[in-house]
Amino acid sequence: MMAAAPLFGASVAGAMAAEEATARKPAKRKIIVCGGHPGDPEYGCGGTIARLADAGDEVVLLYLNRGDPNETPAQTSFPRVAEAAQACEILKTRPLYAGQIDGHAVIDSAHYDSFRQLITREKPDALFTHWPIDNHSDHRAISLLAYDAWLSLKKRVALFYYEVSNGEDTACFTPTHYVDISTTADRKRQSCFAHASQSPDRYYALQQSITKFRGLESGHREAEALIHHPQSPAFSLPG
């Protein structure tokens, strides 16, 4: 009769295997996706956000304002705040606000400083933001604020730009990267339609035509396009 293998040896082998598995598991990363208004990150790169969150990354949607030009930035009872919370739940993210007013973005030394502090507190591994050549002033504003924060971090985090309604809002956008969103396109759509006050029936069709076009460019059913700042670190994207 063959003797059983020592339990001690088996437990050591199991511990070593568990340690190796832990070492192979990628560390959780934090990504901040900046947008001028609630809904902008969702429309621009909601499929990518969903894939990053599904992979275990922590994703924060940082909105420049709460989407209401008639109220103070401190109020939290705006309909668009509730819509953003629902969209973030769909995408497995959390919302954050920079405290400005819709349509009245301010870029000065005080706002640069407060935005830098906000980003520094969050300790991101990557920043996503609007392309700076965009027709909406709030989009351009948060793009510049994010860029300044990235510079203040000594360019140590990855910096990506995303497009929103190319041809209507975003212009002169030449992608460096594509993310296949074929498996998350439905969740992207749900997150956009969570912003019910913003006429998604009118606007989503244009955004979907863009993801289908980017899919044709990259060989997928639907894809989102990004531009990676060449001076920022490499950062692995889903797929």
At 26 the pLDDT is 64
pLDDT, tens digit, for every residue of 95-127? 999 999 999 999 999 999 999 999 999 999 999
The string of DSSP codes covering the chain is: -PPPPPHHHHHHHHHHHHHHHHHHSPPP-EEEEEESSTTHHHHHHHHHHHHHHHTT-EEEEEEEE-S-TTS-TT----HHHHHHHHHHHHHT-EEEEEEE-TT----SHHHHHHHHHHHHHH--SEEEEE-SSBSSHHHHHHHHHHHHHHHHTTT-SEEEEE-SSTTTSB-S---SEEEE-TTTHHHHHHHHHT-GGG-HHHHHHHHHHHHHHHHHHHTSSSEEEEEE-TTSPP-PPP-
Asked if residue 10 belongs to a domain, the reply is no
Q: What is the CATH number of the domain that holds 148?
A: 3.40.50.10320
At 166 the pLDDT is 65
At 77 the pLDDT is 61
Average pLDDT in the 159-164 region? 97
Average pLDDT in the 141-159 region? 98
Asked if residue 105 belongs to a domain, the reply is yes
Asked if residue 91 belongs to a domain, the reply is yes
Asked if residue 233 belongs to a domain, the reply is no
Asked if residue 5 belongs to a domain, the reply is no
Asked if residue 22 belongs to a domain, the reply is no
Q: What's the structural domain count of the chain?
A: 1
Q: Which domain holds residue 159?
A: 28-228
Asked if residue 78 belongs to a domain, the reply is yes
pTM of the full predicted structure? 0.87
pLDDT, tens digit, for every residue of 205-217? 999 999 999 999 9
Asked if residue 1 belongs to a domain, the reply is no
